[in-house]
Amino acid sequence: MTRLRALAGWAAGVRPEDIPTRVREYAASQVLSQVAAIRAGARHPTAARLTAAFGGPTQPDRKAAACVLAALGSWLNLDDTAYAGHLSNSTVAVPLAYARDGADLITAVVVANECAARITAAATLGPLRGQSAMHTHLAGAVAGRLTTEDADAERWTDALALAFAMPNWPLLRAFLASDARLLCTMVPVRTALDACDAAHAGLTGAHDLMEHPDGFLARFAEVPLPGQIDHALGEQWHTETLSFKLHPGGPGIDAAVDAAAELAPLADNDIAEVTVEASAYTLMAQHTADRYADGPDTPLGALVLDVAYPVATALLTGHLTAADLERPATEDPARWSLAKKVRLREDKAMTRELLASDAPFGAALRMAGRDAEPWLRRFGLTAPEGGQRDFRHATKATPARVTVRLHTGETLTSERAIPRGAAGPETRAEHRSLIRAKFRESGGSAESADVELESLTGAGLRSWLRAALS
């Protein structure tokens, strides 16, 4: 049996009662968290041009609505992540457009998470990671739609195979420096939904597309992990590896922003130097951002990968919000003056802590074992020990330590290993309240935040989404 057939056979048979309550509760928080991200994206000035071209996020055309929901949720890097992938831009956006009622929504989100995360994990030791791994949304969109349509396993297999026939490969220049970044999830979501239509009409795909020597993993993975695609289906839930984004930004800056916010408020004139110590992962992201950095004119795609500006903002204000990524905030001279004082250094112990956690790629490295060594050497890293672990205890450690030296000679330090909202014991215990706060901070109403999604009828779900986005 091919990997896609195994995954499709499982996905087609999942019923709400097959999903543990704790996993469904995670998915409910994920929906509210992504709606907050969509709200923030919709209020950014660029969003008006997107909706002028493609319509609004609650339009009657479900395919178009799903694409717009996907684009708006991804724009400010407020979309949630998992091991592996930025899932929610497809795994929440598509079910929001297609689900028949609240229970159907939560089931579709979980099944889509499991399919998209597994295929992403199989290719995560490759050249594309994070939001640039757009193939995540080919799987997420197919699964998010077909779950709501009770499609059979054969149709699932064909839709997935057709969707992955021409997987997306972004150009970094366009992704980081232009509005094309708004399309980074919209395009694969549309491709996947078209593949569903094609499969419904009887078109077929190559069912061995994942593992074939001329297939997906051969092109998109330097260390292919095909076993991740159908590993422990129905037993190990990737949904439990979710990390919820509580402020905008790319990989590796969350802990630094959390630590900086704990030291706020400070004044630029009082600060002599800021040192941020972090893992090699954070330094890699910063190296990419540096190529596009241009002070207040830094494009949004690079600004969300930067460390200096977000840390400076958090030190001055005690927060980092979507409004901090647009004018007038990005023209504040005090923020850029302080950003110039920020120095980023690797802490080897923090790199080891990163690799020991499950996300963003520690679990893949443990599964790959010695096969991952050539991939790791490119980044000067060494493989963690141990095999696959129970995701009920998943962690995402992207550590950072912020040290502020004042002109008076006084030194202030704050450190965070697991960012607020990231996978770990704190998030497992508090995800509902954390995400309620995120939604309220985005301007969402308390009434919308407190709705029990699984209890909603079809009409009730559509009404809730309109209210939640208004």
Q: Model confidence over 420-458: pLDDT tens digits?
A: 999 999 999 999 999 999 999 999 999 999 999 999 999
Q: Which residues contact 221 (CB under 8 A, 6 or more apart)?
A: 122, 123, 124, 125, 126
Separation of alpha carbons 43 and 470, rounded Å: 10
Q: Under a CB-based contact definition with an 8 Å cutoff, are residues 10 and 52 in contact? A: no
Q: Under a CB-based contact definition with an 8 Å cutoff, are residues 357 and 425 in contact? A: no
Residues found in the chain: 470
pTM to 2 decimal places: 0.95
- Say which residue, 290 or 464, is predicted with more confidence: 464
Whole-number pLDDT of residue 130: 86
Whole-number pLDDT of residue 284: 87
Whole-number pLDDT of residue 431: 97
Taken in order 67, 286, 257, 417, the sign of the CA dihedral is positive
Residue 288 CA: distances (Å) to CA of 258, 376, 400: 22, 18, 18
Phi-psi region for residue 206, left (φ > 0), alpha (ψ -120 to 50) or beta? beta
The secondary structure element, H or E, covering residue 355 is helix 348-356
Percentage above 70 pLDDT, the chain:
98
Whole-number pLDDT of residue 387: 59
- Say which residue, 77 or 386, is predicted with more confidence: 77
Separation of alpha carbons 243 and 255, rounded Å: 12
**pLDDT for 60-91, tens place per residue?**
999 999 999 999 999 888 999 999 999 999 99
Surface-to-core class of residue 275, CB atoms within 10 Å of its CB (0-12 exposed, 13-18 middle, 19+ buried): middle
Query: How large is the average pLDDT for residues 228-242?
Result: 95
Query: How large is the average pLDDT for residues 85-110?
Result: 97
Q: Which residue has the tokens 């499709």?
A: 8
